[in-house]
């Protein structure tokens, strides 16, 4: 399998854009990525699009036709909140296999108010017991964690405070205002202990990346960013193990796989993006990804060790909580942030000391995707 690089990335600002279509936003993200890569649309040989709500029947074609028509195959992937990470992985396989040399990956979404409230199939067991929103799952997980390890409501809220502070440094973020600990803790309770401001918002937005073979990248840049490792999988319910830790166990397993493929460990990661659909999720995934021992995640946040200036900066762009979470577009926004950080182009939120490797953790209903990038 050939080595694969991320040659360019681009975003359309995340936020609420009732006047814009996914075509409008997708076009901006794609043009930004093409510009960043220094290539033309005609150089693209295939496209992979991640979206959830953007319409059946060829949404990817409609978005990509905004930029050009060259007859390339266009694939639409739907993987809930990790759709564009999965799209990236599929493009990575194709380039790795030698099917093509240069591919466009796009994520886009327009979300109606409350769209992600109910995600379980009607009449499913999950729905019948009231577990029909992702926040109910996050609440179950973190309740046990609080019980077992003494993680506090304050520590959880501090994740959101950190994310919103980072969001003020990111011109693409949906929310660019700081939020106080009191504001987060006193906001409306959604699923105890998770409050409103500890939930990722509904968001419109688009993201894009250009990926290519190592050989191809050499024509355009002296410092490509490589896809060094990846892992993807689905949760397994194991008898005798806890249902509420399904996502954690999966993340632990996949993190090992991704580090092994990359020939690196958590200690090599200089910047990390974690799927913080709920603030509590960041704490537990930070542990599952091997950055600290189980039960210590809350203290790491409280001690500021996951801040941009800390030992392991997490969600430097504001994460899902502040940058926003337009489901189909989220995965590539994580990739864009790590690419910018590794190139030293992250502006006011740049991690110090020339970061050399970063990890993106993106999860969707029924699956987790991990991508490790390196210089």
Helices (H), strands (E): how many in the chain? 13, 11
First to last CA, the chain: 19
Residue 365 lies near a copy of itself (rule: CB under 8 A): yes
- Is the CB of 37 or the CB of 95 nearer to a copy of itself? 95
Beta strand spans in 234-289 (E): 271-273
Q: Which positions from 41 to 70 touch a copy of itself by CB under 8 A, shown as an x/- string?
A: -----------xx-xxxx-xxx-x----xx
Minimum distance, C-beta of residue 60 to a copy of itself, in the bound complex (Å): 8
Which residue number, 103 or 301, has a Cβ lying nearer to a copy of itself?
103
Query: Could you tell me if 199 and 238 are in contact, meaning their C-beta atoms sit under 8 angstroms apart?
Result: no
Among 9, 25, 34, 80, binds a copy of itself (CB under 8 A): 80
Please state, in angstroms and as integers, the Cα–Cα distance from residue 244 to each residue in 26, 136, 238, 295, following that order: 36, 10, 11, 16
- By rule CB under 8 A, what count of residues binds a copy of itself? 45
Nearest residue (CB) to a copy of itself, 78 versus 198: 78
Cβ closest to a copy of itself, residue 122 vs residue 352: 122
CB of 73 to a copy of itself, least distance (A): 4
Instruction: Give me the least distance between CB of 82 and a copy of itself, in Å please.
Output: 10
Helix (H, G, I), strand (E, B) or coil at 52: coil
Work out whether 237 is an interface residue with a copy of itself (CB under 8 A): yes
CB closer to a copy of itself, 62 vs 144:
62
Site string for a copy of itself, 89-118 (x = CB under 8 A): -x--xx-xxxx-------------------
Residue found by looking up tokens 């059946």 in the block: 56
* Cα–Cα dist 58/288, whole Å: 36
Residue 271 contacts residue 126 (beta carbons within 8 Å): no
Residue 272's CB: how many other CB atoms inside 10 A? 26
How many Cβ atoms sit within 10 Å of the Cβ of residue 3? 14
Marked catalytic residue, from 12, 145, 275, 325: 325
H-state helical runs in 38-124: 59-65, 83-97
12 included as an active-site residue: no
Q: Which of 5, 12, 49, 81 is catalytic?
A: 81
Check residue 235 for interaction with a copy of itself (CB under 8 A). Answer: yes
Binding to a copy of itself by residue 119, rule CB under 8 A? yes
* Residue 352 interacting with a copy of itself (CB under 8 A): no
- Among 9, 11, 77, 169, which residue sits at the site for a copy of itself (rule: CB under 8 A)? 77
- Using CB atoms within 10 A of its CB, is residue 141 exposed (0-12), middle (13-18) or buried (19+)? buried
Residue 73 found at the interface with a copy of itself (CB under 8 A): yes
In the complex with a copy of itself, the residue whose CB is nearer, 177 or 243, is 243
CB environment 19-48: b (16+ within 10 A), e (fewer): ebbbbbbbbbbbbbbbebbebebebbbbbb
E-strand stretches of the chain? 4-15, 46-50, 74-77, 102-109, 189-191, 194-195, 204-213, 225-233, 271-273, 357-364, 367-374
| 364 contacts a copy of itself (rule: CB under 8 A) | yes
Residues designated as active site: 81, 325
Q: Which residues bind a copy of itself (CB under 8 A)?
A: 1, 52-53, 55-58, 60-62, 64, 69-80, 86, 90, 93-94, 96-99, 119, 121, 232-237, 250, 253, 364-367
């Amino acid at each position: 399998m050939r080595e694969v690089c991320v040659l360019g990335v681009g975003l359309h600002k995340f936020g609420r854009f009732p006047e814009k279509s996914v075509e409008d936003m997708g076009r901006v993200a794609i043009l930004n990525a093409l510009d960043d890569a220094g290539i033309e649309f005609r150089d693209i040989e295939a496209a992979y699009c991640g979206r959830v709500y953007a319409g059946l029947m060829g949404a990817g074609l409609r978005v990509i036709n905004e930029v050009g028509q060259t007859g390339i195959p266009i694939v639409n992937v739907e993987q809930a909140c990790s759709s564009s990470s999965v799209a990236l992985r599929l493009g990575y396989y194709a380039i790795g296999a030698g099917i093509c040399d240069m591919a466009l990956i796009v994520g886009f979404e327009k979300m109606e108010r409350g769209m992600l409230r109910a995600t379980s199939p009607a009449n499913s067991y999950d729905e019948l017991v009231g577990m029909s929103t992702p926040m109910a799952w996050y609440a179950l997980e973190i309740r046990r964690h609080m019980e077992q390890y003494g993680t506090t409501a304050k520590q959880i809220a501090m994740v959101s405070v950190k994310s919103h502070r980072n969001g003020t440094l990111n011109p693409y973020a949906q929310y660019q205002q700081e939020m106080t600990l009191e504001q987060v803790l006193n906001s409306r309770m959604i699923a105890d202990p998770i409050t409103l401001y500890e939930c990722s918002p509904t968001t419109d937005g688009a993201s894009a990346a250009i990926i290519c073979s190592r050989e191809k990248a050499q024509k355009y840049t002296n410092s490509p960013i490589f896809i060094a490792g990846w892992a993807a999988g689905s949760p397994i319910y194991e008898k005798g193990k806890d249902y509420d830790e399904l996502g954690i166990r999966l993340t632990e397993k996949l993190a090992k796989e991704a580090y092994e493929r990359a020939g690196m460990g958590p200690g090599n990661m200089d910047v990390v993006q974690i799927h913080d659909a709920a603030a509590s999720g960041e704490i537990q995934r930070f542990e599952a990804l091997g950055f600290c021992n189980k039960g210590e995640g809350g203290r790491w946040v409280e001690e500021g060790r996951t801040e941009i200036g800390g030992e392991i900066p997490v969600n430097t762009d504001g994460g899902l909580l502040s940058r926003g979470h337009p489901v189909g577009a989220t995965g590539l926004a994580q990739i864009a942030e790590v690419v910018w950080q590794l190139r030293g182009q992250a502006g006011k939120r740049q991690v110090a000391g020339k970061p050399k490797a970063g990890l993106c953790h993106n999860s969707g209903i029924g699956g987790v995707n991990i991508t490790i990038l390196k210089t």
